[in-house]
Chains A and B, each alone.
Chain A
């Protein structure tokens, strides 16, 4: 009962906050609402007994990525009237893409329950969620994990090369 009430609250809050984010005129205000949104997503994770994931969500998204967003917005110094002219004409395209995406999402079989894995709630709570993620990540999914880190490394090197000054002409 309490779980359901909280889930309804989080669901409504997440949808409302997402709408608020894309309708703000000031980009910095949008970022602040996004911060609230990330906290609500972390709350959802907490209800799924995934406290590690909830805190990583806050540390990575709220603590690092969103600060970078803020940093970039302040450096670009976009004027509000400029923003309005440039992007407000795209809304029909945006809405039609959104509707197509929604139809695809609703027709997907992802909403039916799949086969249960080895890690049910009991075994996760026993190993703590941090321990369970660590176990699985470094044994079963070691290769995808390393590949993902390699991809991130490539992105970092790419950014450095783009930003590097070229001395020889």
Chain B
């Protein structure tokens, strides 16, 4: 009994180390990928100096951030100033623990995985608000206020947009949701749940404070928004939290709408002998879909201008929430008629 517990504990710790280190490394290349994508979309080259085609640029940036001076404003609320980025990074990293990367693999395969993701993404708002308040600077404060209103509003539509998926899969466990899509005729929930998918994508962009909803950090008005006063490694923590937040949101989109790790049926019958090979293919499939979503984030960033604040609020409350409620109604009615 004790031995078994110990064994499970060691396996879990190994899983955590693997997922966290991959996520950290992912951020380095996600930033590079973003800069290159936007560069080429704007007919520039992007980073080119460090390494072949600038591939080591992010590592150079990390080294630079390590050695920068850690400044704390004199009138800042010091405990809150220190804890804000830690809350941000913890909330996003903990979300990674429920994401199934291939069949049956998640650090914590819990029954209410989707709700857990909502809970952690709403916790991310504290990092932004507290950072804005603790810095004691008008730009930071305005950024924090904007973000709190934005995140509360868009959390509602994000939650509602996924209810359709919950109704169809009859589960909140992310692994079960992917498995349910495998048994569904279209194999992807994006086809019956297209409305939910669109609402989710828009809300996810607002939740992660990305263009076109990046009002909390609007450069032209607020310098850098809530993290204006942060420097060195504390700034890097916010940066890390933002990119891992994008990773989490993309993986929710992949798991709930794009079939997750699910491969086409004939591949399972061809390689039915080796389960390891199938697992590798599933990981590749999951990551491919994930990076398509990440690319979409970058694509939107390089093409769209920023929303105005009142437009942001009316989009959230007057369009996305009614539309997602309507989607729940339709999904529920069809589910009832089919049964």
Contact = CB atoms under 8 A, between A and B. Distances in A.
Given A67-B125, A67-B148, A59 B130 contact: no
Given A32-B80, A55-B119, A67-B125, A130 B152 contact: no
Nearest to B129: A70
Nearest to B115: A55
Interface in A5-54: 26, 28-29, 32, 35, 51-52
Contact of B111 (A29, A71, A128): A128
B121 to A, nearest CB: 8
A143 interface: no
A59 B149 contact: no
Interface string B67-88: 0000000000101100100000
Interface residues of A, number: 22
Contacts of A58: 119, 122-123
Given A59-B122, A74-B145, A67 B151 contact: yes
Interface in A62-83: 62-64, 67-68, 70-71, 74
Contact of A29 (B80, B115, B129, B151): B80
A62 B112 contact: no
B116 interface: yes
A64 B152 CA distance: 6
Contact of B152 (A26, A62, A68, A128): A68
A157 interface: no
B112 A55 contact: yes
A74 B172 CA distance: 36
A70 B118 contact: no
Contacts of A35: 126
B17 interface: no
Contacts of B125: 63, 67
A56 interface: yes
Nearest to A35: B126
A28 B115 contact: no
B45 interface: no
B184 to A, nearest CB: 20
Given A62-B123, A74-B145, 5 more contacts: A55-B118, A64-B155, A71-B145, A74-B141, A130-B112
Interface of A: 26, 28-29, 32, 35, 51-52, 55-56, 58-59, 62-64, 67-68, 70-71, 74, 128-130
29 contacts: A28-B77, A28-B133, A29-B80, A32-B126, A32-B130, A51-B111, A52-B112, A55-B112, A55-B116, A55-B118, A56-B115, A58-B122, A58-B123, A62-B122, A63-B118, A64-B122, A67-B122, A67-B125, A67-B126, A67-B151, A68-B152, A70-B129, A70-B133, A70-B148, A71-B129, A71-B149, A74-B144, A128-B111, A130-B111
Interface of B: 77, 79-80, 83, 110-112, 115-116, 118-119, 122-123, 125-126, 129-130, 133, 141, 144-145, 148-149, 151-152, 155, 159, 172
